[in-house]
Amino acid sequence: MLRTFFLMATAAIGASVAVAPALAQQNEQYVPALVYRTGPYAPNGIPFANGVMDYWNLINERDGGINGVKLAPEECETGYATDKGVECYERMKSKGATGAAYFSPLSTGITFALTEKVPADKIPLLTMGYGRSESRNGAVFPWNFIAAGSYWTAADVAIQHIAKELGGADKLKGKKISLVYHDSPYGKEPIPALEARAKQDGFTFKAIPVTHPGVEQKSQWLSIRQDRPDYVLLWGWGVMNPTSISEAAAVGFPRDKIIGVWWAGAEPDVVPGGAQSAGYKALMLQHGAGKYQVHADIEKHLISKGKAQVKAEEAGHVLYNRGLLNSMIGVEAIRTAQKKFGNKPLTGEQIRWGFENLDLTAARIKELGFEGMIKPMKFSCEDHQGADEARVHQWDGKEWKIISDYYTADRKILDPMVKDASAKYGAEKKIDARDCSKES
């Protein structure tokens, strides 16, 4: 036994020595991807990761990089676990010529943990549509970019849509709205915004938690059957979403009275439910499913050459598109930063400037092939979110149909909340807020 053990130990040490030397490419921008292609959240993690990687590869294949600077993508599997995500972050943060460009963990838990680490390492955190809602305030959170929308935006838009379906905000009075949420920071984030709306509009709000990973929801839906709420908001992720839909069907709660957040509004959430899912509605992080100009480029440069990660029939799915969008915003931030710092691999600190000065105009979005997917977005020192719009789409049993126009979240309610929460965070962490009027 001892001898075999020594052999194994020698092999292990040999392997770890082989691990050590990391090759640094000189003229490449290192872009890390925290992905989860395994575990209970993999059905949603895979299409997103495919989109992220495919867009970076498209930039390399089609344009030869960003202004000649090639991207060097690398994946690290987190399994949606916070400690694994932190390990991946530490592993990747200083790789490449200039260190990691930015991180997008696609997990609220990992985002919370990394928010504590990025200021010291000077790496931006791009959390598109998730993460700390108060990180919109760039004065307190210089390194977080909660692009396109926060959970508070989502909560507000969801209530606006319900009001519209009911025929006006005054009709909300006396209605019952329940929130079925993933019992984690992700699911709890919208609660303050929904409570604020409940107070303002006079509806009864009830929050019903579902334990991770969310395959056991019998009692939650039985209590919904007892309560008979007018609407159910669904804040789920991974296997939790299809489970919720089938449980709703089991207790006979109408699917068209369920509105999911934009993380509960993709194909993996509704396809497993089959016919039960028809009528289910979800918010859109501006974009939905479908193919646009950028997909034609991906078809031409990646899929037809066998270089794409996505299967041809899955290009155009909601989360794949979101992955593309995530990388597009990141790439455009790098491009913006290059205008100031030169066409070379940039450090995280320089790219942070790029994020903060990123202005995605309608013309630029059209040039990039994303026309129709998103509206213009503009970031600044005090606004790290850049947009407040969202739409709603509905699953008709075969595909997602857009059923609403753009809603704009009510910043009159949300801005004071962002201000209070970020001030509280700043006081707790003893952060001196930047003076945005002095930033260039």
Under the binding rule (CB under 8 A), the answer on residue 303 touching other proteins is: no
Minimum CB separation of residue 183 from other proteins in Å reads 6
- Which residues between 405 and 424 bind other proteins (CB under 8 A)? 421
Under the binding rule (CB under 8 A), the answer on residue 432 touching other proteins is: no
Under the binding rule (CB under 8 A), the answer on residue 192 touching other proteins is: yes
Count of residues making up the chain: 440
Under the binding rule (CB under 8 A), the answer on residue 35 touching other proteins is: yes
Under the binding rule (CB under 8 A), the answer on residue 305 touching other proteins is: no
Q: Which of 94, 204, 246, 343 binds other proteins (CB under 8 A)?
A: 94
Under the binding rule (CB under 8 A), the answer on residue 12 touching other proteins is: yes
Q: Which of 83, 170, 216, 367 binds other proteins (CB under 8 A)?
A: 83
In terms of CB distance, is 155 or 373 closer to other proteins? 155
Under the binding rule (CB under 8 A), the answer on residue 401 touching other proteins is: no
Under the binding rule (CB under 8 A), the answer on residue 189 touching other proteins is: yes
Choose the stretch contacting other proteins; rule: CB under 8 A; options: 72-80, 137-145, 161-169, 294-302: 72-80
Under the binding rule (CB under 8 A), the answer on residue 188 touching other proteins is: yes
In terms of CB distance, is 38 or 219 closer to other proteins? 38
Under the binding rule (CB under 8 A), the answer on residue 275 touching other proteins is: no
Choose the stretch contacting other proteins; rule: CB under 8 A; options: 69-77, 298-306, 351-359, 382-390: 69-77
Assess contact for 146 and 170: CB atoms under 8 A.
no
Binding mask 105-124 for other proteins (x = CB under 8 A): ---xx--xx-xxx--x----
Choose the stretch contacting other proteins; rule: CB under 8 A; options: 32-40, 242-250, 259-267, 374-382: 32-40
Under the binding rule (CB under 8 A), the answer on residue 403 touching other proteins is: no
Binding mask 154-173 for other proteins (x = CB under 8 A): --------------------
Under the binding rule (CB under 8 A), the answer on residue 226 touching other proteins is: no
Verify cis geometry, omega within 30 degrees of 0, for the bond prior to 268: no
Q: Where along the sequence are the contacts to other proteins (CB under 8 A)?
A: 1-2, 4-5, 12, 15-16, 18-22, 35, 37-38, 42, 46, 74-77, 79, 82-83, 86-87, 90-91, 93-94, 108-109, 112-113, 115-117, 120, 132, 183-185, 188-189, 191-192, 209, 212, 421, 425, 428-430
